[in-house]
Amino acid sequence: MSDINPSSTSDTSHGFGRALVAVYAVFALAASARSIVQLVTEVESDTVVPYTLSAFAGVVYVLATYALARNHRRLASVTIGIELVGVLTVGVLSLVDGDLFPDQTVWSDFGMGYLFIPLVLPFVGLWWLRRSSVV
């Protein structure tokens, strides 16, 4: 008999899965906190869209964190897919027409303000879900 738990490679309670949940949790906190502060203190007519988009990104990161931590494969796939579409769409739009986003969001310029982690994170998340038996 092997001492290795077969589920340890397919859940987020060990190793890379746990690290992935931690990164998602940091982004959930960062995006949510930033958007709350911006919406409460700095909102103007031209900044409502980027601040609301940051709030949406925060919700997506919170849901993805929860789904990964609880091994809810369908919710994790959906939220990470939304994250990927969001970062690609906002990234392209922010580069093509900077006037659409007069202030930065988590996903602006493909997450350049966050060292491009928002661009890389959904690819890593989807890769991990596919690689593990979580999906």
Q: Classify the C-alpha dihedral 97-102-107-110 as positive or negative.
A: positive
Question: What's the pLDDT tens digit per position in 7-22?
Answer: 445 677 778 999 999 9
Question: What's the pLDDT tens digit per position in 79-129?
Answer: 999 999 999 999 999 999 988 887 788 899 999 989 999 999 999 999 999
> What pTM does this model have?
0.86
Q: Classify the C-alpha dihedral 39-42-47-50 as positive or negative.
A: negative
- Is residue 50 within 8 A of residue 108, CB to CB? The reply is yes
- The pLDDT, as a whole number, for residue 10 is 65
Region 36-57 average pLDDT: 84
- Of 64, 70, 75, 66, the C-alpha closest to 118 is 64
Report CA dihedral (15, 21, 25, 26) to the nearest 10 degrees.
50
